[in-house]
Amino acid sequence: MSIETEKEEYKKFTGPWVQTSCNSDGIENPNEAYGLAPSVTFNENTFLVASTEGTILIKGTFSLNTNTTPKEINWTDTYGHDAGKTFPAIYEISESTLSFCAANENMCRPQAFEPRIGHTIRIFTRQ
């Protein structure tokens, strides 16, 4: 991927997104089950997850690989419950929707958006 193409891909993430769906370990977890619909804000290669009240839940960095199908992303949490952990994932992004499927730390990267034990699928819409 050229540097310009890479920059364009990171720009697609920029700004605030709100979670609309989450499936963890094959179980659908409606936002109401946690009393929140978390939002994530991206800036360059960093992200910040916050509750609806504005409490910061997670901070971290991410890296992309668009030379694969599906496209790959690595999430590294730097603040929060999983600080120091990296989660291999795949993603799809459009102008208004971001979807990713992440494996638990030390698991193989998912190859498809399939609900399974050890995988979390999250869907966000742009705010």
Q: What is the mean pLDDT of each run of 10 residues along the chain (127 residues)?
A: 81 96 88 71 97 92 96 98 98 98 97 96 96
**What pLDDT was estimated at residue 32?**
58
What is the number of other CB atoms lying within 10 angstroms of the CB of residue 14? 12
Residue 37 CA from chain centroid, whole number: 14
Domain range spanning residue 100?
Answer: 3-126
Total number of domains constituting the chain: 1
What pLDDT is attached to residue 5?
A: 83
